[in-house]
Amino acid sequence: MSDSTLIGLHHQEEHHPELLHHFAEAQQQRDAASLGMWIFLGTEVMFFGGLFCAYLIYRRAYFGDFGAASKSINATLGATNTAVLICSSLTVVLAVWAAQTARRSLLLISLVITMLLGLVFLGIKADEYKDKFEEHHVPGASFSFDHVPIPGHPDQYANPRHAEIFFALYFIMTGLHALHMIIGLGLFAWLLFMAWKGHFTPEYHTPIEIGGLYWHFVDIVWIYLFPLLYLIDRHP
């Protein structure tokens, strides 16, 4: 990074230590970083998009079976998790604001709460997986979904093979989402460390901003997963 002296690039008066050599000014670096994150999120949208596409096709093909399978998931836990994630989005926004306005302790607290909420989410998720495991709803050799009536058709049972596709998609989609949460927690641990060391200032807090973008994205994916997997066949 100090290579820049070699080629006489020092036009800027105030050269922030975090400004990388190949950027002309801090604004450019910030813009590049946030554009990069947005584009990366575009990639992520397409990544999940393939799964959503598969889900929609099978939901249409195996309508009732998917309804029956969906009903077997614990919607209360799912709703709790949705609330947890929405709260964590709030604390992320607080963290960004705290970084912008140089409120160090608020920044640290917000980051810690965000991570705690993330852990709560994963804990609840693990509990849900445990239930599914005990009910033999994990696709594979011991899968069983016999004699589960299709919602609205009490005399008709769901086809276990089709329900298995639902659970396969359920585990892949929520699993991939959970993996993103875990990556997010790692990212936030690093942000917390940097914040604790006092690296972020109102002039330089890009990592908080793009880390926040990532966290929001993971939340939004959940906002779509929750109704598609938990709520498709719940009626009052």
How far is it, in rounded angstroms, from Cα 226 to Cα 236?
Answer: 17
Could you tell me which residues are beta bridge partners of residue 149? 157
**What mask, x for binding another protein by CB under 8 A, covers residues 61 to 100?**
xx-x------------------------------------
Q: Indicate whether 31 belongs to the interface with another protein (CB under 8 A).
A: yes
Beta bridge partners of 49: none
Query: How far is residue 231 from each of residues 51, 66, 100, 136, 213, measured CA to CA in Å?
Result: 18, 11, 38, 21, 27
**CA–CA gap between residue 180 and residue 48 (Å, rounded):** 11
User: Dmax over Cα atoms in the chain, in whole Å?
Assistant: 81
> Contact between 21 and another protein (CB under 8 A)?
yes
For residue 186, state whether it binds another protein (rule: CB under 8 A): no
H or E element: which one contains 150?
strand 149-150
Token code pair at residue 219: 């939340």
Interaction of residue 14 with another protein, rule CB under 8 A = no
Q: Which stretch binds another protein (CB under 8 A): 20-28, 68-76, 202-210, 211-219?
A: 20-28
Other residues' Cβ atoms within 10 Å of the Cβ of residue 146: 9
Please tell me whether residue 198 binds another protein under the rule CB under 8 A.
no
- Answer for which of 89, 95, 121, 164 binds another protein (CB under 8 A) is 164
Shortest Cβ 8–another protein spacing (Å)? 8
Binding site for another protein (CB under 8 A): 3-4, 6-7, 9, 20-24, 28, 31-32, 35-36, 39-40, 42-44, 46-51, 53-54, 57-58, 61-62, 64, 139-141, 153, 155-157, 159, 161-162, 164-165, 168-169, 172
